[in-house]
Structure 1
């Protein structure tokens, strides 16, 4: 982990959480964070859109920030079921995940769609967390770095900077499976991402690159110690404050 980049530990709650229990978990996380008045990392929770406003209110004046899990490319219009970046910002969000592998796979989102959504997040005043990652078939075909290059080059908008964009590397085969790449595998991909960013952005050295994919308390310290890993995008282990906090604690 680089001393020049402030780590980000982000929780992606996916399609989980009802108001009472979710708010209770968030308040517990806020209470844990209060014991560290000047944490050395940014802490983020991305709940379902139905909970953004309520959780932003519960996290107010704390070191915990709230984000969205997706946004539409447009700021308004006839897009039933979608949500604009401006709406997330209005509800209290500061970040938005775009291009998660579940969106790419389940909703057929191409790099071009992800790029448009990242642009929308920037337009709406949100920091875009742009996800990249290879499938098991791509990994077994030794195409990992080619896939990552294609996604990084074609998912980032021209206006991407270190202040409005975060990259999250999530090998698709590791998400929710309990499997994780070796620290060497992670280091190789993260170094490759940083090389790609250097060709695209003038402040690439400041861009945070997170690792995601079955991150939990038992492996977080090892993963966060890998060179060029600037934090984590955490799935299931972020749903409970008691499970998420040990991951946060590796960076505070």
Structure 2
């Protein structure tokens, strides 16, 4: 299965900064063996799509609604993402769940709608520190997958990103053993559900730990936060 290296820029980088980054990253893209995807903020999406034309870099958006248009103030249209040349939609990130109150039911509708447009959903799952310490990780991830993929088409592409909530932006990283165990569990759950999907790891991934993490069972790449904001650091991660 091909490796996927994705960068989630969250609410960083203006359109001008986005164009400058893409110009530099295209110069080192030849060293990357897997697929590269960037998720800029919605305001910088068009700049990103224009900047990567003619290259192998893929673009997605960090969130999109379940309909193409309508009276949904502040939302993003996956149909517009498609028209701009984007190919991925990030769905169910822990910040969308915790800060903006997204439910598994809404996430399931988003996954199904994105697939219907021929785009690829990247579904984020992950447990909190409290849930891990209570040994509820497997149950939490199983529930998120069962509910989040309840309306998904098994015949269409989907990517799953496992991000332990306690390791996102905290500097804490799951140990290689924890990553291997959890990714094996996620792979087992997906297999039982009838899905075949790359499973990315996210959670304070940096150049100095990426090489070890990529070797773990069922790790098909990374969803990177802060380290994806700089060309050098992300290029090092994407060439492990």
Normalised to the residue count of structure 2, the TM-score between the two structures is 0.96
Q: In structure 1, which of residues 9, 13, 25 is the aligned counterpart of residue 9 of structure 2?
A: 13
Aligned equivalent of 1:166: 159
1:82 aligns with 2:69: no
What's the CA shift for 1:157? Answer: 4.0
1:224 aligns with 2:217: no
SS at match of 2:161: strand
Structure 1 unmatched runs, 5+? none
Contact 1:118–1:157 (CA under 8 A) maintained in structure 2: no
Contact 2:108–2:151 (CA under 8 A) maintained in structure 1: no
Q: In structure 2, which of residues 19, 25, 28 is the aligned counterpart of residue 23 of structure 1?
A: 19
Structure 2 unmatched runs, 5+? none
Aligned equivalent of 1:141: 134
Q: In structure 2, which of residues 202, 207, 223 is the aligned counterpart of residue 212 of structure 1?
A: 202
Contact 2:180–2:218 (CA under 8 A) maintained in structure 1: yes
What's the CA shift for 1:158? Answer: 3.6
1:195 aligns with 2:188: yes
Contact 1:52–1:92 (CA under 8 A) maintained in structure 2: no
Q: Which moved more, 1:152-161 or 1:175-184?
A: 152-161
Moved over 3 A (4+): 157-163
Contact 2:115–2:156 (CA under 8 A) maintained in structure 1: no
Instruction: State the superposition RMSD in angstroms.
Output: 1.3
What's the CA shift for 1:113? Answer: 1.0
Normalised to the residue count of structure 1, the TM-score between the two structures is 0.92
1 CA distance for matches of 2:25 and 2:40? 14
SS at match of 1:179: coil
